[in-house]
Amino acid sequence: MKARTIMIQGTASSVGKSIFVTALCRLLKQDGYKIAPFKAQNMALNSFVTVQGGEIGRSQAIQAEAAGIDPSVHMNPVLLKPQADATSQLVVLGRAMEVSDAADYYRHNFDLLPAIEQSLNRLRAEYDIVIIEGAGSPAEINLMDKEIANMRIAAMACAPVILVGDIDRGGVFASIAGTMQLLPPRQRRLIKGFAVNKFRGDISLLKPGLDFLEKRYARPVLGVIPYIRDMGIAQEDSVYLDERSNVKKSGRPYICIIRLPHIANYDDFDPLEALCNVRYVSRPYELGQPDLIILPGTKATINDLIHLDNIGMSEEIRLMAQAGVPIVGICGGYQMLGNKIIDPHHAESDTTETNGLGLLNMETVFEVEKITTQVKAGVTGNAGLLQGMQAVKVAAYEIHMGRTKSLSGQPAFTVTQSVISDKPYAEGGLNEAGTIFGSYMHGLFDNRDFTCTLLDNLCGLRGIPPVKKHWPDREKAYDDLASVFRKNLDMQGLYKIIEGGANG
């Protein structure tokens, strides 16, 4: 018997669809069901690598974790990763296929429907309920006849749809009513209920609007979800970086993360936010006096590095490094730390070669083949930030086009397990003082022993008392999220909609 389905769509991007699905994955798991998430097409720069080496959207990996299952490429068969030149890299079933602009993509995207349907059917054969996430809004009238992420997938899956609106933006009733008005009748019939997300205040003040929706459309409002601060769960859209709290924690290190124009996998740094004062900065004057600067991943390394040069951030980072401020680069940020970045095949940029920051003696060359692999590694470097960490082991994942060659200095890590090599290999780089290091490994800071020891070393270098280790508990975060949703959703009504399906 095929699994039942339910689909969460939104009135716009960033209304909270991903978190809504994450909450339902944990809720229904708690109720004893085998749950799988699914998103037919995702456009995101935050991605994850499965055990088999396939790349999917990070949000689907988080949802799978909330459901208590291993992530699979079938949970996100189509992933689009935007690049600097208005193009996107197309990833199908975990593998990078081509780079195209929007017009080219929409001329051929229906060719992807068989792979999408096969992945959906595979999940439906293995699980009790598949929770499907839409993309953006289903009512984009310029895309309705081209989309492969919203109502076309709901019809394919025979999935009832819950339409979610974000009240924190304002105009939530207009956005829900406008969506219903713009949808053609056959698609409107698939919507079986509404939910209001990110509410702050007295819920009784919403009653006239909620009553209006239920009366006008003869569908229930299943719940009003309160605004949740510091939920401790990675979020997909970089818009959420604007909502990150910068509350000062007394006696904690101050970490600046450079907010690159094409920043990717910024959830790498969520554990640091729980332990330190973390701020995302876009301009040199925002840096202040940091104890650590981090250059994060990016899908457009060369273009973002040129941007840093143009706004004076590159020079400011060099000056900070000369003054002894520790610098860490992850993936694209690691590539920026070197002397040169060369892109002979124009894999990421029209620029063939550019100078790096020159903080590590190494060069990076972009190649056509993309590396995607989970890894296990040990710390090799033994100075500064990595002092005394040779017994520390880490588990992480790599997603990158470039290959980096060290010209001198010591590697930061030794990879002992990877799908791309059956032999150990050196990874990352560390300067002689140990104040600057880089690595291709995403998820590095999710390793508790590594991060806690690194922060102890940082505090020693900067003359700060050791950080109290209130390590974030992601399982508890999923349970807490589910608890909020269970209290504020009509669970009986939700199950009724799931049981009724698209024709209920």
* Catalytic center residues: 331, 442
Cα distance between residue 136 and residue 157, in whole Å: 18
CA dihedral 398, 321, 310, 295 (to 10 degrees): 20
The 3-state DSSP class for residue 219 equals: coil
CA geometry: angle 377, 381, 387, nearest 5 deg: 110
Cβ(88)–Cβ(99) under 8 Å? Answer: yes
Contact between 414 and 445 under an 8 Å Cβ cutoff? The reply is: no
Nearest to 377 by CA among 330, 429, 413: 413
How far CA 169 is from CA of 36, 45, 383, in Å, comes to 30, 23, 48
Q: Count the neighbouring beta carbons within 10 Å of the beta carbon of residue 220.
A: 19
Widest CA span of the chain, in angstroms?
71
Q: How many CA atoms lie within 13 A of 62 on its CB side?
A: 27
Strands 191-199 and 161-166, sheet pairing: parallel
Tokens found for residue 52: 């088999």
* Residues whose CB falls within 8 Å of the CB of residue 404, separated by 6 or more in sequence, listed in order: 334, 335, 338, 362, 363, 364, 429, 440
Which two three-digit tokens encode residue 430?
Answer: 């560390």
